[in-house]
Amino acid sequence: MAVQKPSIPKGTRDFSPVEMARRNYLFDTIKSVFRRYGFQPLETPSMENLSTLLGKYGEEGDKLLFKVLNSGNFLKGIDAEEVQAAAESDNPVVLGNRICEKGLRYDLTVPFARYVVQHQNELVFPFKRYQIQPVWRADRPQKGRYREFYQCDVDVVGSKSLLNEVELIQIVQEVFAALKIRVTLKINNRKILYGISETIGHADKMMDITVAIDKLDKIGLDAVNEELAGRGLSPEAVAALRPILELSGSNREKLAAITAIIGEKSATGLKGIQEVTTILDYAEALGVVLPVELDLSLARGLNYYTGAIFEVKAMDFPMGSICGGGRYDDLTGIFGLPDTSGVGISFGADRIYDVLLGLDLFPAETAQSVRALFVNFGGAEELGALRLLSEVRRAGIAAEIYPEAAKMKKQFDYAQKRDILYMVFVGENELAARTATVKNIVTGEQRSIPFEAVADSLR
């Protein structure tokens, strides 16, 4: 066979041992917080039926699904004309969906909804789960955007209590405190956005209005007003919106101002205000120190979020949202389980990784997975070293021996390149005296230590 130059598909990555150690640190930190809050792990298959995935992510999402070709004769039962038509078309989607009945997981939310509905009779509600798995999207790869990447989701379904929202805020606080990343959490509520639209007489234009509010920072008030007029808002509506666009001050001040504006004009809007108020009250009473800011321009996921909307940004590093989520009242309806409200948040593992790297926040130990290298002198010394090594490992210490009696320089280089802190020497004299020489590679310090104390000296 010809020799192949090895490569991997664009937009995918290998994770080297060093990267894996960092990723494990990140995931372990997140998981340990999730667990303390009573969330339990779940995993779903990488492949879902294409019918489970199609139509759940909008037209654009459908295009980004990776489809898995049916095994065996994938053209069976498909007539030549159909194939011909597809070959002549520019975008043979229909044929694609005929020859593929499975697709790769696009996110963790839809598989989770599918799981909840499929297992509704075995599950105990409220069901609190976390899920950390890769997802795949046929997006154009670019810096920081991959075709295979991990999502890290935590959700509760089957409870409308706002305590769940509060718990998610606490989880955000604890995860980033543990990672030593300073963050701000922005909160909004879809009901308030709807209430504003209803108040100014354009309940049908919530999306347009929200998009315009979102642009305020970038393009200024006048341009926003112009855009709103362009989207069909009456001059009165644009004028009525003005005080909302200009809201400022503390969360409480903003809430008071919107309450005054909405008044009795939108019951939904007042419900949203009440929800945010309750969440903030709880957070305050529980001593949440994470900066939580009500931001009416926060408009992620308006297609599915029905209540709270969250977004988290790092304070000390330029990076988009590193965490986001919200409440969805009808996640499971499409699979036949209505009225099952849920709320969840997703941690952007790749972005958080980049922030940790950028701010140099990975603990140095994550690189040092092996504590000691036992030097291999061959012969009886080798056997002595191997026996001592077994003791050290039994004591729970990660250690290894160079597998051959190679030159000292080679063994030393190996230890150094592997970030191994200690070298342990069991030479002829040492073996006779049942002591080992333990050398700290970084400081150069070396000590003679009785065999039975070597394990402790390496901790």
CB of 295 to a copy of itself, least distance (A): 25
Question: Applying CB under 8 A, which of residues 27, 29, 61, 68 lies at the interface with a copy of itself?
Answer: 68
Q: Tell me if 305 is assigned to a ligand binding site.
A: yes
Q: Tell me if 90 is assigned to a ligand binding site.
A: no
Asked if residue 441 binds a copy of itself (CB under 8 A), the reply is no
CB of 109 to a copy of itself, least distance (A): 14
What angle, rounded to 10 degrees, do the helices at 267-285 and 163-179 form?
50
Q: Tell me if 109 is assigned to a ligand binding site.
A: yes
Question: Applying CB under 8 A, which of residues 145, 161, 230, 315 lies at the interface with a copy of itself?
Answer: 161
Neighbours of 378 (CB within 10 A): 11
Q: Are 345 and 323 in contact (CB under 8 A)?
A: yes
Q: Tell me if 151 is assigned to a ligand binding site.
A: yes
Question: Applying CB under 8 A, which of residues 400, 427, 437, 457 lies at the interface with a copy of itself?
Answer: 400
Q: Which is nearer to a copy of itself, 63 or 242 (CB)?
A: 63
Q: Which is nearer to a copy of itself, 398 or 432 (CB)?
A: 398
Return the residues of window 206-245 that contact a copy of itself according to CB under 8 A.
none
Task: Give me 149's structure tokens.
Answer: 């990447």
Q: Which is nearer to a copy of itself, 68 or 211 (CB)?
A: 68
Residues binding a copy of itself: what is the number (CB under 8 A)? Answer: 110
Asked if residue 250 binds a copy of itself (CB under 8 A), the reply is no
Return the residues of window 107-126 that contact a copy of itself according to CB under 8 A.
114-115, 117-119, 122, 124, 126
Which candidate, 218, 199, 211, places its Cα nearest to that of 260? 199
> Which contacts qualify for 170-174: CB closer than 8 Å, 24 or more apart?
170/37, 170/283, 170/286, 170/288, 171/33, 171/34, 171/37, 171/345, 172/290, 172/310, 172/312, 172/323, 172/345, 173/288, 173/289, 173/290, 174/33, 174/36
Asked if residue 9 binds a copy of itself (CB under 8 A), the reply is yes
Asked if residue 80 binds a copy of itself (CB under 8 A), the reply is yes
Segment interacting with a copy of itself (CB under 8 A) among 153-161, 213-221, 255-263, 424-432:
153-161
Asked if residue 102 binds a copy of itself (CB under 8 A), the reply is yes
Question: Applying CB under 8 A, which of residues 414, 437, 446, 457 lies at the interface with a copy of itself?
Answer: 414
Residue 207 DSSP SS3:
helix
User: How far is the C-alpha of 50 from the C-alpha of 111, rounded, in Å?
Assistant: 11
Neighbours of 450 (CB within 10 A): 11
Q: Tell me if 108 is assigned to a ligand binding site.
A: yes
Asked if residue 99 binds a copy of itself (CB under 8 A), the reply is yes
Which candidate, 346, 192, 163, 213, places its Cα nearest to that of 267? 192
User: How far is the C-alpha of 314 from the C-alpha of 79, rounded, in Å?
Assistant: 55
Q: Are 327 and 306 in contact (CB under 8 A)?
A: yes
Asked if residue 78 binds a copy of itself (CB under 8 A), the reply is yes
Q: Tell me if 133 is assigned to a ligand binding site.
A: no
User: How far is the C-alpha of 225 from the C-alpha of 222, rounded, in Å?
Assistant: 5
Residue 211 DSSP SS3:
helix
Return the residues of window 31-50 that contact a copy of itself according to CB under 8 A.
35-38, 40-49
Asked if residue 5 binds a copy of itself (CB under 8 A), the reply is yes
Segment interacting with a copy of itself (CB under 8 A) among 67-75, 234-242, 289-297, 439-447:
67-75
Asked if residue 363 binds a copy of itself (CB under 8 A), the reply is no
Amino acid at 29: T
For the annotated binding site, the residues are: 107-109, 137, 151, 155, 300, 304-305
